[in-house]
Amino acid sequence: MLIDDYLEFVAARCRPNTLLATAYDLKVFFSEIPKEPADVVTADIFSFITTQKKPRRGTKVIRLEDGEAGLSARTIKRRLASVSGLFGHLITGMTWLSSATRCPPGWPVDAEASAGGRRCCEPRCASSRCSSPPRTRA
Query: What letter would DSSP give residue 39?
Result: G
Other CB atoms within a 10 A radius of the CB of residue 125 amount to 17
Q: What is the pLDDT of residues 53-103, one digit of tens each?
A: 888 777 777 676 777 778 888 999 999 999 999 999 988 875 434 333 445
Beta strands at 118-120 and 96-98: parallel, antiparallel or unpaired: antiparallel
Task: From 15, 21, 26, 132, select the one nearest 87 (Cα to Cα).
Answer: 26
Task: With H, G, I as helix, E, B as strand and everything else as coil, classify residue 72.
Answer: coil
For residue 65, the model assigns a pLDDT of 74
pTM value? 0.63
102-113 mean pLDDT: 51
Hey, which of 19-23, 35-39, 128-132 has the most confident mean pLDDT?
19-23
Q: What CA–CA distance (Å, rounded) separates 30 from 8?
A: 18
Determine contact, residues 3/22, Cβ cutoff 8 Å. Answer: no
pLDDT at 109 over 50: yes
For residue 96, the model assigns a pLDDT of 38
Determine contact, residues 10/83, Cβ cutoff 8 Å. Answer: no
